[in-house]
Amino acid sequence: MRVLIFDENLMWAPRLAKSVTAFGHEAIVLSRLPDELPSGDVAIVNLSSRAMPPSQLVPMLRAAGIKVLAHAGHKETELLELGKGLGCDRLVSNGEITNKIGKILEEF
């Protein structure tokens, strides 16, 4: 499965990509909104991103037929509600995505 990782955090994104790859998937990290979306099966979206506002990014992904896995801190309920309102396919906390990424991706 091809997994697009939208996150500008230079420490977090490569670690997440490494985990995705370890579970047998192709990972592509994007640190800014691209002019044209690459093809992908699932996109991992950081709901707290300032460089790639979820209110812009998620509708683009949904229109392209890409499933959206969004994450935020477990106490960032307003961001998780935003993700729900945007129609993300799955919402998880940062801790869940860190510790359970393999199992979460199996759901897709």
In the chain, where the domains are located: 2-106
Pick the CATH number of 2-106 from 3.40.50.2300, 3.40.50.720, 3.40.50.740, 3.40.47.10: 3.40.50.2300
70 pLDDT more than 90: yes
> What per-residue confidence (pLDDT) applies to 66?
97
9 pLDDT more than 90: no
The mean pLDDT of the chain is: 92
> What per-residue confidence (pLDDT) applies to 78?
87
Q: Which amino acid is at 99?
A: N
> What per-residue confidence (pLDDT) applies to 75?
86
92 pLDDT more than 90: yes
Model pTM score: 0.93
